[in-house]
Amino acid sequence: MINWKKKNQEEVLEEKEAYGVPYLTFSLLNLLPMVKHAFSTRLGGVSRGEFASMNFITARGDTQEAVNANYEIMSKVLETPREQMVAAYQMHTTNVRKVGQEDAGKGIVYPRDYRDVDGLITNVPGLMLVTFYADCIPLYLVDVKNKAIGLSHAGWRGTVNNMAKNTIKAMQEAYDTKPENLFVAIGPGICSDCYEVNEELADEFKKIFPDNYQRIVQYNSKGNYFLDLCEANAQQFLDLAVPKSQIALSNICTCCNAKYLFSHRASAGKRGNMAAFLSLTI
Ligand SMILES: [Zn+2]
């Protein structure tokens, strides 16, 4: 078991392990037999150096062989063939793509025929959605009534542009999803202690959250500003009428746990990418 540095001792996340490979899961989503999900750590893969060891992206210089091998390991761990996974093409926007069986394997074993997609939704059982992280915030959405899922990437840009709302809207249009039927897990990502931002960005968040910014924009005695992206996303889900009891907020920070998780900030950009995984089982 990893000695995680946690924000609080609540049982939000559960570490699991298969074939000696640890990964994180949300207790809230583990209660739902209709989904399988995971958030990878740095451990258990074959990549070397700054990508050590479980990296899922070649864009920063890791080899295709290592990334393929890492997918193969996670595919065994999650009992889902790589050919049944489909990857986002993240550009820090809020475009959400509905994917089906015809998209299986795209971005993992086949090239993608789309780009600029930070969120994926589906209602096809067995098709596993995959998105990538190194401090930004994963958003897992499960519509327990209409059996549909969404997995979206939200950094500060995605949060400013309300990725939570865009993902729900896409699920509403495609699957008639209603916020009251959604179970949502937010994180793991960078915490407010680690995420110092400039005044301009802090002001932007104050404008977006006029009634709640005290929990989202914080500052220290030196007047430096800090953002809580997990809280910001949680507030956006609450504003859209997702019940509070159906929202789980990660208490593990990528930057505070940089030995076990890739953190863009902790590594000054020398890092690989973790992946979030979500699929419907039935
Ligand atoms: Zn932190």
What tens digit of pLDDT does each residue of 237-269 get? 999 999 999 999 999 999 999 999 999 999 999
- Interior angle at CA 270, CA 12 and CA 152, nearest 5: 40
Q: 258 C-alpha vs ligand 1 centroid, how far in Å?
A: 9
How much distance in Å is there from the Cα of 188 to the middle of ligand 1? 10
Residues paired with 47 in a beta bridge = none
Q: Is the pLDDT of residue 279 over 90?
A: yes
**pLDDT of 149:** 99
Provide the edge-to-edge strand list for the sheet that holds 35-40.
Answer: 13-18, 21-26, 35-40, 274-280, 128-133, 85-87
Burial 15-44 (b: 16+ CB within 10 A, else e): eeeeeebbbbbbebbeeeebbbbbbbbbbb
Per cent of the chain over pLDDT 90 is: 99
User: 123 alpha carbon to ligand 1 midpoint, in Å?
Assistant: 34
197 three-class SS: strand
Task: Indicate if the pLDDT at residue 273 is higher than 90.
Answer: yes
Question: What is the whole-number distance in angstroms between the Cα of residue 128 and the centre of ligand 1?
Answer: 29
Asked whether residue 282 carries a pLDDT value surpassing 90, the answer given is no
Structure tokens belonging to residue 143:
């519509």
Q: 138 CA to middle of ligand 1, Å?
A: 16
81-132 per-position pLDDT tens digit: 999 999 999 999 999 999 999 999 999 999 999 999 999 999 999 999 999 9
For residue 34, report the distance from its CA to the centre of ligand 1, in Å: 32
> Which residues are bridge partners to 258 per DSSP?
none
Residue 83 C-alpha to ligand 1 middle, in angstroms? 35
Rg, Å, the chain Cα set: 17
Q: How far is the CA of 189 from the centre of ligand 1 (A)?
A: 8
Residue owning tokens 């995971």: 38
Tokens 């179970």 map to which residue?
183
Q: By the 8 A CB rule, do 227 and 205 touch?
A: yes
Ligand 1 centre to CA of 281 (Å) is 33
Can you say whether residue 261 is alpha, beta or left, with left for phi > 0 and alpha for psi between -120 and 50 degrees?
beta
Give distance in angstroms: CA of 254 to centre of ligand 1.
6
Mean pLDDT value of segment 209-217? 96
Q: What is the pLDDT of residue 204?
A: 98
pLDDT score at 229: 98
Closest to 2 in 3D by CA, of 42, 38, 34, 32: 42
- 186 Cα: distance to centroid of ligand 1 (angstroms): 15
CA of 42 to the centre of ligand 1 (A): 16
Kindly report the average pLDDT of the chain as a whole number: 97
The reported pTM is 0.98
Q: From ligand 1's centre to the CA of 195, what distance in Å?
A: 7
The pLDDT tens digits of the residues spanning 155-177 come to: 999 999 999 999 999 999 999 99
Q: Say whether 257 sits in a helix, a strand or coil.
A: coil
Residues 213 and 210: their CA atoms lie apart, in Å, by: 6
Compute, in angstroms, the gap from residue 245 CA to the centroid of ligand 1.
24
